[in-house]
Amino acid sequence: MVSLADLVKSLNIAFSNKDYESCEKLLAPVKIELIKSNLLIPDLTNTNEVYVNDLNIAKKILEIGALVSIYTLKFENFQNYFSQIRVFYFCSNPKLNESEYKSKLISLYLLILLSHGDTSEFHSELEYLSKHITNLEDDSLLSYPIKVEKWLMEGAYQKSWELLEAGSKVPEFDVFTETLKIAIREEIARNAELSYEELSLTNIKALLFLESEKKAEAFAIERGWKIVKGNVIFPGEEPEVDKELKELEKAEKQESTLIEKTLNYAINLESIV
């Protein structure tokens, strides 16, 4: 029978060689051995030096599992690994709560929440993190998802888009770029429907950061917008407008202002180019 030490050695070699398929095959038996050794669910009250060192090895194995899940686009697996890793990251033992991957993996978790549109959980997580990590936004990795979300909430779509377009220095973050771009387009489109009766295809192209009017037309058709003589006609409100929509009128006017700013910026940028 292969020992835990041999399994871990093989896992580290496969991970170093970017052989993620082999990593996935090795992680299952490794985790079974960790469970047998009482390392997967750690006893944080045990301060025995040998046990703490073994826990550090277990933490590194879980971190490999989390990163492999990102590289193989298995985000549900990543969340499972992260739920196990966070026990280490947020414990009081300084020998266990620090790691070279800590900021990266926390940031990836935040990006997954954003890509799923789970803003309530995102904010809950930020609140939790702020109690355990000082000056979150000063961290070069943690600041990335925080900025994206902040600018999205403020309606600063141009800033969010430019940040995503520029790419990050962390390849794992770029896995979420296209998903987040789609989210930005959807948010702008939703707000445009609330703010305008119609817009030209040229304006739609600029507003949604699309490469051509042909792509703007395809987007409009997919969303169910009518196109008449080069203009996009947004669906009108239902004849009976309920009280809730009336109460949202002020908020919609604010959205209109944000959309106009984005549109003006995009058009001005195009004229410069």
What is the rounded distance in angstroms from the CA atom of residue 232 to the CA atom of residue 208? Answer: 13
The pLDDT of residue 226? 94
Q: Report the CATH fold assignment for 1-98.
A: 1.25.40
Distance, in Å, from the CA atom of 58 to the CA atom of 64, rounded to the nearest integer, reads 10
pLDDT of res. 168? 80
**Average pLDDT value for residue range 107-128:** 94
**C-alpha angle 123-71-151 in degrees, rounded to nearest 5:** 30
Tell me the mean pLDDT in the region 258-267: 57
Which pTM does this prediction carry?
Answer: 0.82
Mean model confidence pLDDT for the chain: 88
Residue (of 215, 195, 194) closest to 205 by Cα position: 215
pLDDT reading at 10 higher than 90 = yes
pLDDT band at 227 (very low <50, low <70, confident <90, very high): very high
User: Residue 3 pLDDT more than 70?
Assistant: yes
Are the C-beta atoms of residues 161 and 184 closer than 8 Å to each other? yes
Mean pLDDT of 130-155: 92
CA-based nearest residue to 52, from 5, 94, 103:
94
List all residues 6 or more positions away from 23 whose beta carbon is below 8 Å from its beta carbon.
Answer: 11, 14, 15, 64, 65, 68
The pLDDT value given to residue 266: 54
Tell me, yes or no, if the two domains 1-98 and 101-195 fold the same way. yes
* High-pLDDT (> 70) share of the chain, %: 86
Q: Determine the pLDDT at residue 245.
A: 53
Percent of the chain with pLDDT over 90: 72
The pLDDT of residue 141: 95
101-195, CATH topology level? 1.25.40
Alpha-carbon Rg for the chain in angstroms:
24
Confidence of residue 250 (pLDDT cuts 50, 70, 90): very low
The widest CA-to-CA distance across the chain, in whole angstroms, is 76
Amino acid 172: pLDDT: 94
- pLDDT confidence of residue 55: 95
Residues 58-103 pLDDT 10s = 999 999 999 999 999 999 999 999 999 999 999 999 999 999 999 9
Domain residue extents for the chain: 1-98, 101-195, 197-237, 243-272
Is the pLDDT higher at 262 or at 15?
A: 15
> Does the pLDDT at position 166 exceed 90?
no
Residue 237: the pLDDT is 57
